Structure 1
Amino acid sequence: MSAAEYARHDALGLAELLQRGELAPQELLETAIAAAQKLNPQLNAIVRPMHEIARARAAAPLSGPFAGVPFLVKDLCQEYAGVPTSYGTRVLKDERYAASEHAEMVQRWLRAGLVVFGRTNTPEFGAKGITEPEAWGPCRNPWNPAHTPGGSSGGSAAAVAAGIVPVAGANDGGGSIRLPAAHCGLFGLKPGRGRTPQGPRYVERMHGAVIDHVLTRSVRDSAAMLDATHGPEHGALFHVAPPERPYIDEVGRDPGRLKIGFTARSPIGTAVDPEAVQAVRDAAKLLESLGHHVEEAEPQIDGPQLGKDFITMWFATCAANMDDVRRGTGCRESDFELDTRAMAGFGRALRANLYVEGYLRWNEYARQLGDFHRRHDLFLTPSLALPPARIGEIRTPDWQQRALRILLALGLEGLLLKSDIVDQMVHENLKWVPFTQLANLTGVPAMSVPTHWTAAGLPLGVQFVAAPGGEGLLLRLAAQIEQAQPWAQRRPAIHLANS
């Protein structure tokens, strides 16, 4: 198979070729490996190749809807037995820390017939909306390698956008599927809480705010992958009703005339770039042309407080992750990145009652979003407040790094929390990405759709947020938009078809 032909197909298209016997899984895998070897030096999307493991699997009998299709998993959770999962940190790169078993999500991907041949770049503990870990180096956006592909699933997004694979594993605890999709011109669906598995080690992360799925070029690949992976797992704390019909059957199904509320206003009061505003307004016009009712409206939610509650949970989770790795490896705190140590320090300094108070407000946000969904089928926003940043642009300034080192050395994180530092950190951490956390804290499904490119040629997607159980509705609308304004034929500067 030629590189150009490989790059033309989505995952279901490749699976159809394999099912018809037009090529063998081994041949397809070698095409994908060659694509990775050609493009990855420019992108740094794949940080741990698994070629021999993949070759052995491709040579064995395979079954499932994606039997023989090459695939990449994210190097954050999504453990593969016998292979280290680094979580973007130097400490866990060591072969001694190879996973003893597959993650449940990986097990389901394997049952679907996928052939995993590598793990993708991610920031340390997935704690940033960019993918520039010190452990592996920055991942680059195929549309312009001077810019970030977003995070934390940046490596997966870059690999899919460049044509190395048609689909790759991702997860989303604050936007980490939707944000890299928006950065890289891809479709990114975040399923609702409990829709896909998280185990076996943890059956729920961040009280259900984290969910695993994929990044894709086509809507139908995302739907078919969700069909292959959704459903409860052993020990699940939370169960959701099964879908009314297979998700793949939603693709091409008429969504009906929807009532959609939209805003381009940042929920935390930060600036929104005119390109992001235009992306939403253009999407609203497209939706109207498709027969939907679109109006300016948004949930009545205290956005700054929601941002603060999200950051509180994020920092506390970072502290727990770091402490877990230290217990398991005996490493030192200095083995982690400074920004990670600072986040963990603030997380440890938080009082338990404040943590619980913030978590209890999640229910308030869910009720307020539920009130909005009584009047509107979907909520439309920018996916990003600002166009994709340049590599290093969101780096912590040197003077702040010096201050953080002093604070951490003196143990003054608790005193700092009594000031307005958390409010400042909410603004600094979320000003690029203030729109996506709502869906995580409320547990509802949401998606980023690639409808807009900036004047500089960078993607800038828009986000749709649905009510609980709304994955099918999102897929119906996404497929309608995909047909009306196709995006798959657009190719970034670094793409297999261009090589």
Structure 2
Amino acid sequence: MKKGEVSPAELLEEAITRAERVNGRLNAIVIGMHVIARARARGQLPDGPFRGVPFLMKDMATAYAGVPLQAASRLYRGNVPAHHAELTERFLRAGLVVFGKTNSPEFGILPTTEPELYGPTHNPWRLGYSPGGSSGGAAAAVAAGIVPMAHGGDGGGSIRIPASCCGLFGFKPTRARNPVGPDVSESFYGFAAEHVLSRTVRDSAAALDATAGPEATAMYHAPAPYQGFLAALGSPPEKLRIAFTSDPLLHGAEPHPDNRRAVEETAKLLEKLGHHVEPARPRFEAREFAKGFFLHFSALVAAEIRAAEAFLGRPAKREDVERTTWLLNLVGRSTDAGTFVYYRRKLFDVQRAIAGFFQDHDILLTPTIGRPPVPHGTLLAKGLEEGMQELVARLDRPELLRLPRLLDMAVDRAYAFSPFTPVFNVTGQPSASVPLHWNADGLPIGTMLTARFGEDARLFRLCAQIEEVQSFRARRAPVHAAASPGLS
């Protein structure tokens, strides 16, 4: 693009063609924006770092004026925002050309992308398997070669989980590094962070340079980096004190041997790179954390549905949302304020425990998720469990949620799949999934690196050092949009 070898309009048409080749099999892009994108590509684009680069945005939270923002929910069908989110403005000032929006689970709740409104997104590494969630559509689009990077959001692992499932680099920035306004001042109590999924560390760092920084409507903002994130990649990291563990940080099943093996091999690689690596893990009340995080999520869903009622001009009904969403709404509605604040304190206890752990360690290495990518439906209720959940939802009786194991099975499934990522949403630390390993079935296995609060540049440098010796770009998913092996 910078050499003038291709125009923004030509590059956009290539991306649209690529999407048309594979999206029928993947269902990654669910809202087209071709008319808007073509007009933008033919116009006077800003001279930003990504001038003319085709881009996709997630159908969740971040508004693009004049384009539906539905959060994969029937509840918001037809919702069209009148103005851009601040993050969208920054994407556009960077020169990106947005030509579509990607799939996610309803309200971003599940760690898989199988919404009723749009249908499931398939993993390019194996059709019929989940790409993870909630930024599953974004991950599938990047892994399939439609775009080099795509927007995602991470409230409990929703960038890192799909990055692991789709063999990508997924970076969750420090809390409040990127904007969330102007319509909200904080996203999911500060747990959620917006950024991109990419094939390279370089692109992720350059994207954060283009979007990071304070905004007037925010309650707080992250400490400024001492230099740009892309510039930070110019020198290797100092010798770091790296702790590693494969033990689940939250209660649940032990990680799959493939995920455990990936951590062990990454630890050996880091030691060869000159870092001090030792087995260690933070200690905290895992069950209290898991319950607290679940209650916070439930309260958020209840608040979202209550706010949506003003948009609808009527009370919300069970038919407006999926069963899981409605059950979380019941939990949130029936949780008293004292219980909520008690568990909020418990989450803050964990934040302090993690901060203490990072006084003696620079980086924590863990699996990104607890197992390899799973077939569609694995994380959803079935049979008697599904029937009982639907009965309680239809009766609208929150007290019935106390029936033994009614919700526990669903919560345990989610935490067994992702027993690592939510901790660092609560603590607000920068955390990245790095695609270094594939198992014997050819499925990607991510490993997660987490740094201290505010030390995004240090984490980028370490990830770039790893990428230099073990490139992320060497492997291509079986479902890929490039017309020939020469295109990447």
| TM-score, with structure 2 as normaliser | 0.96
The answer as to 2:410 corresponding to 1:428 is no
- Whole-angstrom CA distance in 2 between matches of 1:67 and 1:147: 34
Q: Write the letter of the residue equivalent to 2:425.
A: N
**Aligned counterpart in structure 2 of residue 139 of structure 1, from 108, 115, 121:** 121
Mean Cα deviation higher: 261-270 or 404-413? 404-413
User: 1:316-339, CA deviations, whole angstroms, 9 ceiling, x for partnerless residues?
Assistant: 111112222233124533121111
**Aligned counterpart in structure 2 of residue 316 of structure 1, from 286, 299, 317:** 299
Match of 1:384 in 2: 369
The CA deviation at 1:293 is: 1.1
User: 1:344-372, CA deviations, whole angstroms, 9 ceiling, x for partnerless residues?
Assistant: 11121111111111112222112111111
Match of 1:36 in 2: 19
The answer as to 2:270 corresponding to 1:294 is no
The CA deviation at 1:139 is: 0.2
- Where does 1:24-63 land on structure 2 (aligned, <5 Å)? 24-63=7-46
Match of 2:62 in 1: 78
The answer as to 2:334 corresponding to 1:352 is no
Match of 1:261 in 2: 243
The CA deviation at 1:75 is: 0.2
Match of 1:489 in 2: 474
Q: Write the letter of the residue equivalent to 1:404.
A: Q
The answer as to 2:348 corresponding to 1:366 is no
Contact 1:192–1:469 (8 Å) recurs in 2 = yes
**Aligned counterpart in structure 1 of residue 436 of structure 2, from 439, 444, 451:** 451
- Where does 1:241-256 land on structure 2 (aligned, <5 Å)? 241-256=223-238
User: 1:448-471, CA deviations, whole angstroms, 9 ceiling, x for partnerless residues?
Assistant: 000111110000100111111111
Contact 1:346–1:417 (8 Å) recurs in 2 = no
The answer as to 2:82 corresponding to 1:100 is yes
The CA deviation at 1:183 is: 0.4
Contact 2:19–2:481 (8 Å) recurs in 1 = no
Contact 2:233–2:460 (8 Å) recurs in 1 = yes
Q: Write the letter of the residue equivalent to 1:145.
A: L
User: 1:57-112, CA deviations, whole angstroms, 9 ceiling, x for partnerless residues?
Assistant: 00111121111110000000121100111101123232xx2111111111110011
Mean Cα deviation higher: 157-166 or 308-317? 308-317
**Aligned counterpart in structure 2 of residue 305 of structure 1, from 282, 288, 295:** 288
- Whole-angstrom CA distance in 2 between matches of 1:411 and 1:41: 37
Contact 2:252–2:419 (8 Å) recurs in 1 = no
Match of 1:276 in 2: 259
Q: What count of residue pairs does the alignment treat as equivalent?
A: 480
Contact 2:288–2:346 (8 Å) recurs in 1 = no
Go from structure 1 to structure 2 and tell me whether the alpha carbon gap of 1:155 and 1:415 turns closer, same or farther (over 3 Å shift). Answer: same
The CA deviation at 1:392 is: 1.6
Query: Percent of counterpart pairs with the same letter?
Result: 44
Match of 1:407 in 2: 392
**Aligned counterpart in structure 1 of residue 192 of structure 2, from 186, 210, 221:** 210
The answer as to 2:328 corresponding to 1:343 is yes
Tell me, which stretches of 5 or more residues in structure 2 are unaligned?
none
Contact 1:72–1:165 (8 Å) recurs in 2 = yes
Q: Write the letter of the residue equivalent to 1:123.
A: P
The CA deviation at 1:498 is: 5.9
Mean Cα deviation higher: 183-192 or 269-278? 269-278
| Segments ≥4 residues shifted beyond 6 Å | none
Match of 1:467 in 2: 452
- Whole-angstrom CA distance in 2 between matches of 1:408 and 1:160: 36
- Whole-angstrom CA distance in 1 between matches of 2:466 and 2:82: 42
